[in-house]
Chains A and B, each alone.
Chain A
């Protein structure tokens, strides 16, 4: 664990992210550029026609949203068990991006639903559990904002995030169970033709890199803001 703690120190994190951030930013731009180019050059699917293009932005948004919740969960564990202040900052910093990715997954899913199922919203297991995930992000952010004392807010939010992590698989299972009970229309078949696999994977990587870059930048911003606050308090004293 020692290597982790070395980078969990704000000063070391600033140095590390100063090197990493330009790399991930360039990689993000490359992945998204190449992914989009490949996406718009693939032949239309014989079943779904050009709507296959929605796959390239829907699935990556979902994956990035899950990654964001996973990041919050890991930070929460670190902050509760080892009480490290950087993981408090990091957990909070990931939440707004996670909420945006979840919302994008829902919006693109709805726009996919209209041509595929004839209606914008289908109570499909996948969309339903993402709607619930969006509320989990909202609850986490609301709790953080509601409690004024930052240390207490961080630990309360961490407890909530960990309870959420235990519950997410159960929610997913129950929603799957529910959608077979009510015979909802199933999502378009899981098999993806190989021509679509390359743009999909590259777009996924691009979204995740974008999340990682923005997350690091946000953590850096909060560290600077805290440094500024301490300076102000010191000069006021």
Chain B
């Protein structure tokens, strides 16, 4: 693997960084939403 990107690294790393943050962000948002909804429903069904 080659991580030495030369002079263009200043553009490439931020692009990968932003993409990673955004994709991980929407994944976390979806997973958290799912766990919350499941917990809320389980609580209601217990009653």
Q: Do chains A and B touch in the complex (CB under 8 A)?
A: yes
Asked if A57 meets B19 with Cβ closer than 8 Å, knowing A49-B6, A96-B26, the reply is yes
Within 8 A of A (CB), among B1-18: 1-3, 5-9, 11-12, 14-16, 18
A11 to B2, CA, bound (A): 48
Count chain A residues whose beta carbon lies closer than 8 angstroms to a beta carbon of B: 36
A97 to B22, CA, bound (A): 10
Interface residues as binary, B12-37 with A (CB distance below 8 Å gives 1, 0 otherwise) = 10111011001101110011011001
Q: Is the CB of B5 within 8 A of A53?
A: yes
Q: Is the CB of B15 within 8 A of A108?
A: yes
Q: Is the CB of B40 within 8 A of A228?
A: yes
Q: Is the CB of A50 within 8 A of B9?
A: yes
Count chain B residues whose beta carbon lies closer than 8 angstroms to a beta carbon of A: 31
- B12: min CB distance to chain A, Å: 5
- B8: min CB distance to chain A, Å: 5
A205 to B3, CA, bound (A): 23
Q: Is the CB of B22 within 8 A of A214?
A: no
- A151: min CB distance to chain B, Å: 21
Q: Which residues of A contact B (CB under 8 A)?
A: 37, 40-41, 44, 49-51, 53-54, 57-58, 61, 96-97, 100, 103-104, 107-108, 111-112, 114-115, 210, 214, 217-218, 220-221, 224-225, 227-228, 231-232, 235
